[in-house]
């Protein structure tokens, strides 16, 4: 069988990890790899690179996943520092953006490396900090190149989500396999260095979800993370396709696995997710932060209304409390 791009699928080394031609944009390939953004088998070194990572398999860990603190149902994400340190009772958990903290100004370790994330962001000593890598591709690639110098700074965090290397639907299957494996490799490297890391589950097809489920079960991983964020498709219901994938994954996992979901930005989505997933779910998003910066507060009915206030930190806490209630928390 030949794929749409003309490659012979029968000769593919990774046939066991592929359901067939995904109909990606490699079918329009003009053979000029230097100007192409996609990674397909024709790109020089691409197959070698995946093999250098150990191929597409997700081997069992040689490290026991660390014990992790209990997660709240909603964990607000922030993009900048606070003006004043919020009380721990008002902000028991907060998620921080790895691109801003660790890759600023092109330096290894960034701000968190120089002064510490807690001090720089003005977070209470008893507030738990999660670090996420749900960031654009460019800082993710910078992290891949500089990760050995950044790892020491990650020990400060109470939980670190492994990088979410992009698995775009219109990308070649080889690119899917490479980026899934890169996230796994970073997760394993973090564990080896004593970092409280959890895997990020991304997928391009159902086989990927089944491989991840087998890995999670075999290694007794109790907390995982995934994203249902849409890229330039927020006006559609595309996120429901991703939620369907998460629900399929959840059906293959034990009841005691906690699933962190990034990208549910509205109370309605949070409620739908809680109905769809039987396991404990923790939601992370920037909605409370972004609305506060626009002088908007979330009402009990889920609407965002314009406020005349300019006390952004206070508005952020109010928004976070409202979203926490939709997620089942009572702060």
Percent of the chain with pLDDT over 70: 81
Closest CA to 230 of 247, 243, 211: 243
3-state secondary structure of 85: coil
91: left (phi over 0), alpha (psi -120 to 50) or beta: beta
Write the DSSP symbol of residue 205. Answer: S
51-107 pLDDT, tens digit each: 999 999 999 999 888 889 999 999 999 988 888 889 999 999 999 988 877 765 444
Residue 33: pLDDT over 50 = yes
Residue 39: pLDDT over 70 = yes
Residue 31: pLDDT over 70 = no
In terms of pTM, does the model score above 0.95? no
pLDDT of residue 141: 92
Helix axes 206-218, 238-251, angle to 10 degrees: 40
Strand order, beta sheet including 159-161 = 197-198, 159-161, 128-132, 93-97, 74-78, 281-285, 258-262, 223-227
169-197 pLDDT, tens digit each: 888 888 999 999 999 999 999 999 999 99
Higher pLDDT, 301 or 8: 301
CA distances, 331 to each of 121, 234, 326 (Å): 21, 29, 12
pLDDT of residue 114: 59
Higher pLDDT, 211 or 46: 211
Q: What's the rounded mean pLDDT across residues 197-218?
A: 96
Residue 120: pLDDT over 70 = yes
């Amino acid at each position: 069988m030949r794929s749409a791009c003309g490659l012979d699928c029968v000769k593919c080394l990774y046939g066991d990890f592929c359901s067939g031609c995904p109909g990606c944009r490699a079918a329009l390939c003009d053979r000029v790899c230097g100007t192409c953004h996609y990674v397909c088998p024709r790109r020089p070194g691409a197959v070698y690179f995946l093999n250098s990572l150990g191929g597409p398999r997700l081997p069992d860990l040689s490290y026991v996943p660390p014990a992790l603190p209990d997660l709240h149902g909603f964990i607000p994400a922030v993009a900048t520092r606070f003006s004043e340190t919020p009380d721990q009772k008002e902000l028991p958990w907060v998620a921080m953006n790895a691109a801003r903290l660790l890759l600023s100004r092109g330096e290894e370790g960034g701000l968190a490396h120089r002064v510490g994330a807690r001090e720089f962001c003005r977070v209470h000593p008893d507030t738990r900090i999660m670090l996420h890598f749900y960031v654009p591709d460019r800082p993710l690639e910078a992290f891949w190149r500089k990760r050995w110098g950044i790892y020491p700074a990650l020990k400060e965090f109470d939980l670190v989500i492994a990088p979410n290397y992009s698995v775009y639907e219109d990308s070649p299957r080889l690119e899917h396999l490479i980026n899934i494996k890169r996230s796994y490799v970073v997760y394993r490297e973090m564990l080896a260095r004593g970092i409280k890391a959890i895997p990020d589950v991304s997928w391009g097809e159902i086989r990927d979800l089944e491989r991840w489920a087998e890995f999670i079960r075999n290694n007794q991983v109790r907390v995982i993370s995934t994203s249902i964020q849409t890229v330039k498709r927020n006006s559609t219901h595309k996120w429901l396709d991703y939620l369907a994938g998460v629900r399929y994954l959840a059906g293959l996992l034990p009841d005691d696995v906690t699933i962190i979901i990034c990208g549910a930005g509205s109370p309605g989505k949070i409620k739908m997710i809680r109905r769809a997933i039987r396991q404990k779910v923790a939601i992370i998003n920037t909605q409370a932060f972004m609305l506060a910066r626009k002088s908007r507060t979330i009402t009990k009915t889920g609407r965002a209304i314009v406020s005349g206030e300019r006390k952004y930190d206070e508005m952020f806490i109010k928004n976070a409390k409202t979203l926490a209630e939709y997620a089942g928390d009572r702060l």
